[in-house]
Structure 1
Amino acid sequence: MDTRLKRAARAGNVSDLYSIIERDGNVLKNLDEVEFVNTPLHIAAENGCTEFAMEILSLKPSFARKLHRGLSPIHLAVQAGHKEMVLRFIEIDKDLVRIRGKNGETPLHYISRVGNYDGLLDKFLEACPDCIRDVTTINSTALHIATENNRLDVLQVLIRTLKKKDYCREVVNRKDKDGNTALHIAARNNQPEMLKLLLNCKADKYDTNQHGLTALEVAQEHNSRESITILRGCFFPVFSNFNHKMEKQIMASATKASSLIFHDMDNISDQDRNALLVILGLLLTTTYQASLSPPGGVWQGDSPSEPFHHIPIEERDSPGSIGTSVLGESYFLIFYILAYVVFIVTFFLTLALLKPFPNGFRTALEVLLAFLAMCFDQSLSSIAPTFSIAVTLRIFSTIIFILMVFVCIAYHQVSKLSVSIVGCWIFPSYSLSLFAGEKVVAVIQVFLLFLVLYDEFWKGTILVVGYSLFLWMGIPCCIRRMLVIL
């Protein structure tokens, strides 16, 4: 590199830069033609000359990806602690966070090792969340590095980001060259707080390393009592092992089915995704309309002046109740079982296609779709000719719903929030109400919600509290009274 250019880069003198370019118009081009080279951008990044660096970056954007001694300009800026320059880099190109330098380390890996300097880790993950999936040449993730270097603050930020991602389980259970997950490392180093964080982020405590050891066995080797206590977790080892085997079997079966439906769904173009959402929206609308206007209509009262009395579902012993479908029992089941299949499958596919949407907007849509599914289910129950038909339809809908949940398990494409709302509405209400009162059913449903959403604190808390108030405190009765008063 030209000596004058080096001096200008160290001093951050933009005027000298253009004087040099005026004398030799190819001075930057010559550097660009070399694959691995020390560029003026590297020098400016190391010395904190932000304005000069931005000027060079505007002239030669490719310099940002050049490596010199295994480091790119953003690596140097991060190591030197020049926060403003780093932020300007990722503002111009967020993918600079994923540049792999020496040993395959990215700037995120460096931050994970030295600590969350000036909140840069948060900025990296905000700009490019997928950088958390990057690994080094020894297959270590940022989680491995943070755990190895006892960076609890870093791990907390990483876990917080991972929990929002569908690939959470994949990243947290990634193995390094020795087959160790981050959980193994935390167990070896006796880091109880890190163990709790990782376990709450779907870390598999049954995973083994190259020596065939689980995290618990690693902790036992090092006599790490706190870690042993946390990793044992369950007071009934037999039940815990059975649960693990059952989960693995479900995952294996679900993966086969999921691959048929969700394969390459992430690679769908925006145009195709929008077209599919329109088609799915039409299917949802059509099947929902069938629950509002059943074929042939519904039974009417004998006299228009006669007040309408809706007969509760459990009291419908024979067809002909006012407001129920005029279809025969067998025809009703055939028609609405098929309609239910279409609705539920469409519901899940729609949830899966919402994945690229912004998190807050997507959550709102997921909740609204869940409420729509609940209304559809309730509408079918309302028009069922007899109680036995309603129960049959409910059993079938529960089976279909559970099967679809299993199908969606493998690729984590579907919102847990939506599934839990619909599942807790569909699954226990009728079957349990046959043997217990409404309040008992409500308690069981709330408990199921807690089990499903225990690792999503705010969403789970809001949903459980709201659901409890709705079913336990008698809000529907209050609403009815208000309507009567009005």
Structure 2
Amino acid sequence: MFCLVSSWKFVVVHMNHESCKLWLPRWTMEKMERLLYEASLEGNLNMLLMLLQEDPLILDRVTLDRHGDTPLHIASMLGHVNFVKEVIARKPHLTMECDSQKRLPLHIASVKGHIEIVKLLLSANPETCLASDRDGRNPLHLAAVKGRCEVVKELGLAQPHAARAMVQQETILHLCVKHNQLEVLKLLIETMSDHEFINTKDADGNTILHLAVSDKQIETINFLLFNTTIEVNATNINGETLMDILAQGPRDVKDQQIIQALTRAGVVEDENESLFGQMPQNCISKMTFGDLEYYKKLNLEKDLKNNGDWLDKKRNALMVVASLIATMAFQAGTNPPSGVWQDDSTNDPLHKAGYAVMALNHPNLYHIFLASNTVGFVSTLSIILLLISGLPFVKHHVFVWGLMVTMWIATVSMSLAYMVSIWVLTPKPGSLIMNVVFGIVLIWYGLTTVLVVGHSTIRLTKNIFQKLRFSRRRPS
């Protein structure tokens, strides 16, 4: 290495400085760049000074020719304070150079927690604290994710607005909870003291308390509940409360502590279902009667939750089916079986252009057809109206049951209208094929009726069984 530099100096001594740049062999410049990178890896300040003495533009040239880590990135990553200090003193603009991930040297130093280097980089250019990498994160975000409290404090003092920058609709507080960095979370909340920012929701409508409950971070939950102004009854974009989110996760002893904390903090519950039915027996045996009451409330919520999930998943399908049935009913009502008269007749007042042929030829069957078709039409319109209403009761189990009954009425009415239409349009109504058709429709009526009644009976029996099971386990 020394021989290389010495031989290069020998060339410079015997040549004009400008001609050196023109005639210096390319392999020598590449070697010089390699020496610079080795110096940044080792933090070799003497080598850096020697290279800068021979070529004052070597740092600029390396930055210009390469798109990866610069020597300042490398030294910032490895914590070479003196090396970084010398580079910044000579070339302060290099603090704004990005690597292939759009990270500045300050991003790298913040992730690694090198506080002295962070201070040097901030003193050279405080605006670098606001720069975002390819993922939209600034140095303060990266330091928070890694739990670098000292760095977070330094960056927050330099640029307070950096903490309010959003990353994919998440705040820095969301990142702290997601990566379980409680100390950084405490530091940021105590520093900012902003009620609105603390209650900011992410893209799914979750606050930081929702995330903490989902991950069952008990210490974080207690801190947020009793040391901040977090809203304990907020819901996310799916209308889920803290108890809803807790009920979705795996069951363990932590649930008991979380429920007690949420209840003390004033979480408002509906008469819902709970986790009790799915708790392990060894966990249940350790609970007090008060704990069992909490779990009973959460277990009562399970059916409601399942109904809501089912309705969300099937909403579009139900809308399509209801719209299709409504369209069929409307078409059949305006264009009944056998069609309409095309001319007027003076002999019969019902024989007029536009009147239904069926109303004259089969008046009784026409009345049955008209009534069943109208019931089916109105039923499907009711379903469509309820599904798009957005009313708060649409996820209640009573509503889901009513929706199922209404759909049953609509399909039964349309099948009756179909049967009447076939009877009118088919010659020889007493034939064997008509008997088979009517038999199939009647069997279908019976099966759908059994399905609706059976479903209601099973749900009622299940609720009674759960209440009896809980009453048997209730301590005396």
TM-score in same-fold range (> 0.5) = no
Q: Which structure carries more relative contact order (alpha carbon 8 Å, separation 6+)?
A: 1
Q: TM-score normalised to the size of structure 1?
A: 0.42
Q: TM-score normalised to the size of structure 2?
A: 0.43
